[in-house]
Structure 1
Amino acid sequence: MAESLRRRLTLSFVVIALGSALLTAILVNAAFGGRFDTYLGQQRSARVSQLANAFTAAYEPDQGWQKDRLDRLAPLVAMSGAQVRLVDASGKSVWSLRDSQMGPEMVQMHRDMGSAGALSPQQRISLTMGGRRIGDLYVALPEGTVPLADREFRRSVNWLLLLGGLAAGSIGVGAGVIASRRTVRPITELTSAARDLQAGDRHRRAAVAGNDEIAQLARAFNDLVDSVDREDAVRRAFAADVAHELRTPLTVLRSQLEAVQDGVVEPTPALFRSLHDETLRLGRLTADLETMTSADSVEFDLHRRPVDLADVVARAGAALSHRFAEGQLRLILSTDPAAVSGDEVRLQQVVTNLLTNTLKFVPPGGSVTVSTRTVDGRAELDVHDDGPGISPDDLAHVFERFYRGHQVRTGGSGIGLAVVAALVHAHGGEVTVVNLPDGGASFRIRLTSIDSDQAAIK
C-alpha cells in the first residue's frame, strides 16, 4: 500500500511538472507565433512601402514615367526576389522586371541566388504624387526572403522550450521521489507500528517527528495506544478487585454454611442475619455492574416523569438511616423543592451511591449533609461531608470506571461513583466533586429543573 501510494505521488509530481512545462510551451509558442506573424507582416509592409517609394521617385510630373530610372531599379527588385509590374493611371502596363534590360534569365538567376522561395499572393499598391494618382504597382513578395533567419530563431526557441520541458520533467521526477518518500515514510512507520501492536508488541509506538497532519495523526495514535494500555491496566486491577470482593462474601457464606452442615455452628438468628448481609453485599456488587453495563448499552432507557429531588433524598436517607447509625454518623437533610424530569428509581440510586460512598471515607462521629435547591433554572443536589476529603491523586479519577480510591475504609465494588456519573449524564446533567476548605468532600449534581406544579402531577 505504501509503495503504491509512493508511486502515485511520484507519478502525480511528474505529470504536474510535464503538464505545466507542456502548457507553458504551448502558450509561449502560441504567443510567440502570433507576434512573429505580426512581425513578418510588418516586414512585408515595410518592403512594399520601400518599393512603392522607389517607383514613385521614377515619375516626373511633366514627363511621366522615366524608363531609365525604372531600369535602374531592376537589380534591387531582382535581389529582393519580388515580382513587380507597374501600370499607369489608365491601366496601361509601363514596366515589369521581365521587360527590363536584365532579361528573364538574369532575373531568374538573381532569384535562385537569393533562395527567395514561393511568391506570396500579389497585392496592388496605389501610387500617388501631390494627391494625384499616377499609377498602380502590383507586387508579389517571396515568402522565404524575409523570414528565413527569423524561422531559424523560432526553431531555436521551440528547441529551448522542449529542453526546458524535459528539464522541468526531470526536476519533477526528482521532487516527486523526494516528496513522496517524505510523505509516505511517516505513514509507513504508522502502519508498521499498528501491525506490531496487532502482533502483540504493546510497547510499540509510532516514531514520527514534525507538526504536520500526519505527525499529529501519529501522536493521536500513540495517545490512543497509551489510553488503551491504561484502560487495560485499570480493567485488570478492577477484575482483581471484583474477584476479591466476590471471594470475601462467598468465602463467608461457604464457611458458615459448611459449619452448620457439620454441626459445628448452630443456625441461630444472628447467623442468618450475617448470611443475609453477605448476600446483600453480593447483590449490591452485581447491581452496580449491571447498572453500569446497561448505561453503556444503546437500549438503556429512562422512565422519565416529574420528580422532586427533595422526595428522592428523603426516601434514600430513610433507607440508609440504619447504616449511618451503625457507622456512628449523622445524616443531615436540608432540602428545598427541586423538580426535574427524570427516572425516580435511577435518581434514588444516584443518591444512594453517593451516600454509601461517604460511609467508606467518613470516620465515626462525622456527619454527612444532603441539600437540594433550584438555582437559575437548574436543580442542584449537594452531598458534602466533614471527612478527610479525597486525595489529590484520586480527585480527578473518582468518576472513572473501574477506579478505586486509596482511602477506602471498607470493601466496595469500586464502581459506585462511575454509576453515578453514567446515570447523571443519561439525565442530561453534570456531576462534580471538590474538596472543601475546612475538610471533607462535596459532590454536586445539576439537572434541568421543571415547574413545581408539573412535579406535583404524579
Structure 2
Amino acid sequence: MKRPYWRTLAWRLTLAFVLVSAAALGTVGFISSAYTRSEFNALLGAQAQESLTAQVQSYVESNGTVSGFRPAEGPPRPGNRERGGDRGGSPPRPSGVSRSSWLVLDAQRQAVFSTPNIRQGTRVAQPEGTRVMVGDRVVAHLIPSGIRARPDRRSEEFLTRTARAIGWSMLAATALAVLMGLLVSRTLLRPLSELRRGIRALQRGEAPTAPATVRKDEFGEVLHAFGEMHQDVVRSQQARRQLTADIAHDLNTPLAVISGTLEAILDGTFKPTPERLKRLHQETQHVSQLVNDLRFLSLADAGELHMNRRPTEVEAVIRGAVTNFEEVARQQGVTLETQLEVPGTKAPLDVVRITQVLQNLLSNALTHTPPGGRVIVTAGHGPQGLAISVEDTGSGVSPKHLPHVFDRLYRGDQARSTVGSGLGLSICKSIVEAHGGTIGMTSVVGHGTTVSFSLPLPATPT
C-alpha cells in the first residue's frame, strides 16, 4: 500500500527546510525593514536639525536676535536650508503651536516658541542639546521636542517601495527554499531508496545489483556495507543449499550401496562373504565419519566447540602425527621429512585436535603427491607465534579453487577436500581458529601445495 505523499520523509524534509528558511527570512526581513525605517527617520531628524540650525542662523543674522523665530513646518527642501523668507530669507512664521521635532531655546535657555509639551518662554534646564553659533557667539540651543519627524509623501513612498522589495525578495527566497528542499530531499533519500530496493531483493533471495551511483559520503559507505552484506547473505544461502545437496549426495551413495548389498544378500543373489561384509562395514564407517564431522562443525558454528588446552611440547605432537604416516608414505614411494625448529617450545594446545589437523593435512598431501615426490612438515617461530606448515610436491590446486578449499563439501577438480567426507579442511580451519590461530593455503599447479597455520604462544615461556 502506497503511503500518502504528505506522510513521506521527503515531504517532511522539504517542509522542515521551508519552515526553517521562512523563519530565517522572516526574521531578516522584519529586522531589515525596521532598521531601514529607523535609519531613515534618523536621517530625517538629522536633516531637520541641520535645516533648523541654518534657519536660526539666518534669522539671527537678519534680526540680531532669536526672539520671534518660528521654524518652517514640513520637511527640509534642497536649496532652502540656509536662506528663508523675510529679510534675507527668514522662514514664514505661522502662529500657534509648532510641530517641529526640535525646540529652539535662546541664550538663556528659554523656549522661543511653543510645542505640545513646552510653552513659549519656559526655561529648560536640561544640558543636552546642540549650540547654534553665529560668529563666536552662542545665539540659541536646539533640543529634541519629543515629536517624531514625519516623512513626507515621497519619503513614505520610498519606504513603501523598500518594504515591498524586501517582501518580494522574501517570497522569492521562500520559493527557492522550496525548490532547494525538494532537491536536497531527493538527493538525500535516493540512497535510502536504493537501500530499500536492496532489502526487498534480499527478502526475495535475489542477487545484489550494483548501485546506480557511486557515492563517497556516509550514505555511500552504508550502501557499500549493505552490498557486501547482501553478497555474503546470498553466498551463504547458496552455500547452505549446496551443502544440503552435497550432504544428501554423500549420505545417499554409501546408503545406496549398503541397502543394495543387503537386499541382494536377503534375496540370495549375493552370499554374505567376508569381502562384502567388509565393504558394508567401510561404507558404514564412512557414513558415521560424515555424521561425526557434521556434528563437529555444527558445534563450532554454535560456539560450543570446547578445547582441552594445556601446555604441550610442540615437537612431540608433530613427530607423533608424522610417525603414523611414515609407513603409508614408504608404500607410496613418497619421502616424508620434518624440519622442526621448536626445541623445547611449549604451547597451550588440545593435543587430540591439533593431531587431527596434522593428520588431515598429511593425508591430503600424501593423496595428491605422486611416487617420487616429497612431503615436508616444518615448524618454527613466526610473527604470529608458532608457525607450522605441510608442503608437498603434488599436483597443486588451481587458483580459481584456492579461495574455496576451506568451504564445506566444496567440490573442485583439484580441491584438497575431495577425498573422504569432504570436510577435512573445514574441520582443520575450525580447530585452528578455536585455538586463536589462522590457516591458509598457497599452491602452484604442477609444483605442489603448502598449507600453513599459526598458533599463538604465551607471552612468557611455559
TM-score w.r.t. length of structure 2: 0.75
Query: Which of structures 1 and 2 has the larger relative contact order (alpha carbons within 8 angstroms, sep 6+)?
Result: 1
Letter in 1 for 2:55: L
Residue in structure 1 matched with residue 59 of structure 2 by the alignment: 55
Residue in structure 2 matched with residue 191 of structure 1 by the alignment: 196
CA distance in 2, matches of 1:260, 1:452: 63
CA distance in 1, matches of 2:144, 2:414: 114
1:346 aligns with 2:353: yes
Of 313-322 and 12-21, more deviation after overlay is shown by 313-322
Q: Is the 8 A contact 1:56 1:128 kept in 2?
A: no
Write out per-residue CA displacement over residues 216-273 of structure 1, whole angstroms, 9 at most, x where no aligned residue: 65555455444444444443333333223223333343344455556643453x5554
Q: Is the 8 A contact 2:59 2:90 kept in 1?
A: no
Residue in structure 1 matched with residue 441 of structure 2 by the alignment: 433
1:296 aligns with 2:301: yes
Q: Is the 8 A contact 1:14 1:169 kept in 2?
A: yes
Q: Secondary structure of 2:337's match?
A: strand
1:38-437 maps to which residues of 2 (within 5 A)? 38-58=42-62, 60=64, 72=87, 75-76=91-92, 78=94, 82=100, 89=107, 131-134=136-139, 140=145, 143-146=148-151, 149-199=154-204, 202=206, 205=209, 208-213=212-217, 214=219, 217-218=222-223, 221-258=226-263, 261=266, 264-266=270-272, 268=274, 273-321=278-326, 323-324=328-329, 327=332, 329-337=334-342, 338-375=345-382, 378-407=385-414, 411-435=419-443
Q: Secondary structure of 1:334's match?
A: strand
Deviation at 1:7, TM superposition (A): 0.7
CA distance in 2, matches of 1:83, 1:229: 85
Deviation at 1:387, TM superposition (A): 0.6
Letter in 2 for 1:156: R
CA distance in 1, matches of 2:23, 2:55: 47
CA distance in 2, matches of 1:97, 1:30: 31
CA distance in 2, matches of 1:26, 1:391: 76
Deviation at 1:162, TM superposition (A): 1.2
**Aligned in 2, Cα 1:418/1:77: closer, same or farther, shift over 3 Å?**
farther
Letter in 1 for 2:295: E
- In angstroms, what is the RMSD of aligned CA positions? 4.1
**Aligned in 2, Cα 1:53/1:240: closer, same or farther, shift over 3 Å?**
same
**Aligned in 2, Cα 1:7/1:435: closer, same or farther, shift over 3 Å?**
same
Deviation at 1:166, TM superposition (A): 1.0
1:17-32 maps to which residues of 2 (within 5 A)? 17-32=21-36
Q: Secondary structure of 1:393's match?
A: coil
Q: Is the 8 A contact 1:78 1:97 kept in 2?
A: no
Point out where structure 1 has 5 or more consecutive residues left out of the alignment: 99-120
Write out per-residue CA displacement over residues 304-330 of structure 1, whole angstroms, 9 at most, x where no aligned residue: 322233222223234445654665544
Residue in structure 1 matched with residue 455 of structure 2 by the alignment: 447
Letter in 2 for 1:163: W
Write out per-residue CA displacement over residues 192-212 of structure 1, whole angstroms, 9 at most, x where no aligned residue: 453355346x36746623435
Q: Is the 8 A contact 1:253 1:275 kept in 2?
A: yes
Write out per-residue CA displacement over residues 338-395 of structure 1, whole angstroms, 9 at most, x where no aligned residue: 4322322222222122122224422345332212222457211110111111112212
CA distance in 2, matches of 1:294, 1:84: 99
Of 191-200 and 82-91, more deviation after overlay is shown by 82-91
Q: Secondary structure of 1:380's match?
A: strand
Deviation at 1:406, TM superposition (A): 1.1
CA distance in 2, matches of 1:450, 1:180: 56
Q: Is the 8 A contact 2:312 2:351 kept in 1?
A: yes
CA distance in 2, matches of 1:139, 1:89: 16
Write out per-residue CA displacement over residues 44-92 of structure 1, whole angstroms, 9 at most, x where no aligned residue: 32123223312331454xxx67989996576445499649987765678
Q: Secondary structure of 1:396's match?
A: helix
CA distance in 1, matches of 2:431, 2:425: 10
Point out where structure 2 has 5 or more consecutive residues left out of the alignment: 70-83, 116-125
Residue in structure 1 matched with residue 79 of structure 2 by the alignment: none
Deviation at 1:441, TM superposition (A): 0.6
Identity of aligned pairs, percent?
28
Q: Is the 8 A contact 1:77 1:83 kept in 2?
A: no
TM-score w.r.t. length of structure 1: 0.76
CA distance in 2, matches of 1:353, 1:385: 14
